[in-house]
Chain A
């Protein structure tokens, strides 16, 4: 790689040992992908996880004096001031969360603790070169905003935030953003939940390609796009998609395909979506809890829940995870009151994959997110996957159909 004088100074430690380590990792990634140079970024999002590997690396960089020259937004761990006092986490758990908090504070991160910053507090412009990690972030900023990010790891995005640069390869180059497979959506996409299933089903048919969807209505909601990207990038490793007539690099099929023919054409039918639902969902039956917010719920999703539960009582635990911003909106709009009175809980700055859910191990619940069902297997939680509406109805009934 051609490094500038400044790049070489960073590698040599002139700007501190933390920046030097971050730079050496970025150069290693660049060499792996035959990048020719490093280019500056203006935004980043780090998928903080509050788990051992994440904490180990963040503390290592912070301990070496690293500071982010491009302050990144960060993912949620869990809200220790909420879960600690009600006894759902232990003092040991809270100490780890506190260490994570301190490490990212020391690194100079923006402590938003949300996995959907692309919806309100970290929105890149078209063509902006950025480093976004986290499964729903990378597809959203590439596909919906037309910014340019590779599918960064939490650690590579943090290194990029420290140095302010990324190696130039992959989706940073225009020619690699071309759709290579045409996905004809024959299923009628009725609601946001269908996009979860579309996102979960597509990678099984198109491994390692950039899909161009045709047949998606132009009225597709931000929540549907959030769901689509999160599932595409979890079920497979799909950091970018095009929707003809919807996303900015796909005004036409020809534009998305860069004037070439697709290497492959696949069809997604209603039957494909149903088969995928069956493969990821536990069988219907009684439930102990409902878990929403993977990715973090928007105010519209919170509103939809409040409309269903208003004046009623849920029979199971019902958790809605969201950003601090949306929580504040929910309070102002009276939705928080409606949901708490119905027996549900809205919590901010918290992820589904955290020790605060230990009490749900061995239990069966419901969620609208295949990604949530997939990752919580490691915590021995069994999830029935259904639409938001059906999950809320299930919470009121104590069972899923």
Chain B
């Protein structure tokens, strides 16, 4: 097993959290995630059918009209199925304000080596307050597919 790797990041929404990675190559709209199961229900989505519950989500950006991210994340939170933390490439105001209000750690500005390293199911610890992300490979997972879909 490779030792955990540490990466620098930029804090958007404060907090520290850890969990398994769900890496999506598509943008995510939390309104099209089933609050009861945490599963992405959007058709043709790269991570369709996968659950965001308790995961550290790695995805390019939020999408969807300006109210639905907060409503989606609120319902997931109430059902106990919210993601633990989020790592994005292109933060947008809708996702940022939703994360701050719902208290879900959110970071950005990870360098390219993070994206080369991270795989589906890796264990990730996000420390937004100190600007660090730690990735640990699960044994036998080094060669697994990088992105959903």
Contact = CB atoms under 8 A, between A and B. Distances in A.
Interface in A10-55: 25, 28-29, 32-33, 47-49, 51-54
A237 interface: yes
A233 B69 CA distance: 13
A28 B42 CA distance: 30
Contacts of B31: 375, 378
Given A53-B70, A133-B67, A153 B43 contact: no
Given A33-B91, A237-B27, A53 B66 contact: no
Contacts of A150: 93
B98 A153 contact: yes
Contacts of B69: 153
A23 to B, nearest CB: 12
Interface in A116-152: 133-135, 138, 150-152
B131 to A, nearest CB: 12
Among B31, B66, B68, B75, residue most surrounded by chain A Cβ atoms (within 10 Å): B66
Nearest to B14: A28
A157 B96 CA distance: 13
A290 B92 CA distance: 34
Contact of B97 (A48, A156, A233): A156
B44 interface: yes
B12 interface: yes
Contacts of B91: 32-33
Given A29-B96, A151-B93, A371 B65 contact: yes
Interface in A222-270: 233-237
Contact of B74 (A29, A52, A208): A52
Interface residues of A, number: 41
Interface string B36-69: 0000011110000000000000001111111111
B78 A52 contact: yes
Contacts of A134: 65-67
A279 B65 contact: no
B32 interface: yes
Interface string B20-44: 0000000100011000000001111
Interface in B90-149: 90-94, 96-98, 100-101
Contact of A377 (B41, B66, B74, B92): B41
Given A49-B68, A51-B71, A155 B101 contact: yes
26 contacts: A25-B97, A29-B96, A32-B11, A32-B100, A49-B67, A49-B71, A54-B70, A133-B67, A151-B66, A152-B93, A153-B67, A153-B69, A155-B101, A159-B97, A207-B60, A208-B60, A234-B64, A235-B63, A237-B62, A279-B44, A371-B65, A375-B31, A375-B65, A375-B68, A377-B32, A377-B42
Interface of A: 25, 28-29, 32-33, 47-49, 51-54, 56-57, 75, 133-135, 138, 150-157, 159, 170, 207-208, 233-237, 279, 371, 375, 377-378
Given A29-B97, A32-B12, A377-B41, 10 more contacts: A25-B100, A32-B91, A33-B93, A53-B71, A56-B74, A75-B67, A138-B66, A152-B97, A375-B31, A377-B43
